[in-house]
Amino acid sequence: MLLRWLGYLLLTLLLFWGAGLLLWRFVLPPATPLMVIRAVEQGAWVDYRPVRLEQMAASLPRTVIVAEDGRFCLHNGLDLAAVEEAIQDFRERGRLRGASTITMQVARNLFLWNGGGAVRKALELPLALALDALWPKERILEVYLNIAEWGDGVFGAEAAARKHFGKAAAHLTAAQSARLAAVLPSPRRWNAAQPGPYVAQRTQTLLRRAGQLNRHQTACWSH
């Protein structure tokens, strides 16, 4: 009986994920599991204003890629080179850092849950591979920039730009885009509008590195 119910659960999840992979390929998702969690925590719905990639300043995807996944245009959803670098860093410094790609973050935010755990990671990897196989890179980037958390109850580039800078995402300056990218690792602790010394320094680093991206690193989206 237990095995039968587990089979039903697995089939339900596969159908849910399959439908989501097909639907969100063409339609921006109205919400994510994390948005629902934040809404419950706050007692009010989150600030989420989905827009198309062309409605964002060209500097935003550049600096976000530099900050989160420099080989985004080059890998198949999993960045094995980043995994090897993280392992080497752990061996040399005893510090474990993440190696999640933008594609893996989209898979997690759309279909799974936040937090660690081997089960979630085991599900995240095949979902990321499926996303990369079924969606163009530009679409993955567009969805990521729309569902990323950028503060308490603030999701997506448009809501973040209006919350932190009082303007549409299309009108962000390169420095403002870099500030938004700089806080992505910890958007509820760091503030893009009022950056501390670390975020200010990271912003300058991202601006410099974004200007050094080569054509192969930016070839997978229109800009």
For residue 138, give the CATH number of its domain.
1.10.3810.10
The string of pLDDT tens digits covering residues 168-178 is: 999 999 999 99
Q: Is the pTM of this model over 0.85?
A: yes
State the DSSP H helix or E strand holding residue 155, giving kind and residue range, or none if neither. Answer: strand 154-155
Answer whether residue 217 is part of any domain: no
Structure tokens of 47? Answer: 């600030």
Give the CA distances from residue 63 to residues 21, 51, 92, 124, 145, in Å, rounded to whole numbers and listed in that order. 26, 18, 28, 24, 11
Residue 65 lies in a domain: yes
pLDDT score recorded for residue 141: 97
The strand pair at 154-155 and 47-48 is best described as parallel
Domain count along the chain? 1
Which residue range(s) make up the domain with 141?
Answer: 29-210
Q: Mind listing the pLDDT tens digit for each residue in 25-34?
A: 999 999 999 9
Q: Is the pLDDT of residue 96 over 80?
A: no
Q: Which residues contact 27 (CB under 8 A, 6 or more apart)?
A: none
Residue 97's pLDDT is what?
53
CA distance 69 to 23: 25
* 17 occurs within a structural domain: no
